[in-house]
């Protein structure tokens, strides 16, 4: 009888996952997906009360999660938190901010704030989790939530685009550096997803028209659109995938 290949599992039992920026939006959706797939999930963000509510809701479904107050812009606190616990098999960094506006009006303060979270914070969080895995001799999957704006430009988004292009760059470099240690590093690049973070964009009809024109599938995204992507990259189903960007953009960047 013919031997058929065995399909890889998308299940995550026995895995520890850290999700930064998990209090709402894409981060909360990613934490939910990982917990549903069987991982023990640490939800981290600045808004501890919202994290506690999420953990309580997960517990009611029989999932395993905990909440940790964390601002990834504080590199010292981030490294101390990661160092004080067991290695995380999975990292999803969804923490991010934006200060949109014309490039001619960018202030140094806004530039530093956005870079401090989206680039510096992301870089050192990824490094901290990787160092712990390397010290323990364990493999891992590290995922940075980037953006389609890490591949194209956008109106009033010069600083945001700069940080996301940079995330794409360090992700590739880290993937090369840590490949021999079986640590995979990838990005997820969503299009415009309806979350509290994007409310100001969707409140502007001219911006909505621009978005809908660019998305080939003809609709904006929901957080559920990202959940399958994070399960894929976190699980053994993507065991040969590293140093790449998974675009969840409805075809925005296809042309």
Active-site residue set = 160, 164
Q: Is 144 helix (H, G, I), strand (E, B) or coil?
A: strand
- Cα angle, residue 170 at apex, residues 168 and 175 outer, rounded to 5°: 95
Closest CA to 167 of 192, 191, 185, 194: 185
Closest CA to 234 of 108, 51, 94, 98: 94
The distance in angstroms from the start CA to the end CA of the chain is 46
Alpha helix segments (H runs only) across 61-99: 75-83
| Distance from C-alpha of 192 to C-alpha of 26, rounded to nearest angstrom | 11
Give the other-Cβ count within 10 Å of 120's Cβ.
17
Closest CA to 110 of 96, 102, 98: 98
Find how far residue 191's CA is from the centre of its chain. Answer: 13
How many C-alpha atoms does 175 have within 13 Å on its Cβ side? 21
């Amino acid at each position: 009888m013919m031997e058929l290949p065995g399909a890889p599992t998308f299940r995550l039992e026995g895995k520890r996952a850290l999700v930064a920026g998990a209090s709402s939006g894409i981060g909360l959706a990613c934490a939910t997906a990982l917990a549903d797939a069987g991982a023990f999930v640490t939800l981290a963000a600045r808004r501890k009360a919202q994290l506690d509510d999420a953990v309580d809701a997960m517990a009611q479904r029989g999932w395993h999660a905990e909440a940790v107050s964390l601002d990834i812009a504080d590199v010292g606190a981030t490294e101390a938190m990661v160092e004080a616990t067991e290695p995380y098999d999975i990292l999803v960094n969804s923490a991010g901010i934006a200060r949109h506006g014309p490039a001619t009006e960018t202030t140094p303060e806004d530039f530093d704030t956005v870079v401090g979270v989206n680039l510096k914070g992301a870089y050192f969080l990824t490094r901290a989790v990787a160092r712990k895995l390397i010290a323990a001799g364990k493999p891992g999957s590290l995922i940075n939530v980037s953006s389609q704006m890490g591949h194209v430009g956008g109106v009033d988004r010069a600083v945001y685009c700069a940080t996301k292009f940079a995330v794409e760059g360090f992700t590739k470099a880290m993937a090369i550096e840590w490949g021999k240690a079986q640590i995979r590093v990838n990005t997820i690049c969503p299009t415009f997803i309806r979350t509290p973070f994007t409310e100001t964009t969707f409140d502007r009809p001219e911006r909505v028209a621009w978005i809908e024109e660019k998305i080939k599938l003809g609709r904006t995204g929901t957080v559920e659109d990202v959940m399958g992507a994070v399960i894929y990259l976190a699980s053994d189903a993507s065991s040969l995938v590293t140093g790449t960007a998974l675009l969840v953009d409805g075809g925005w960047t296809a042309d």
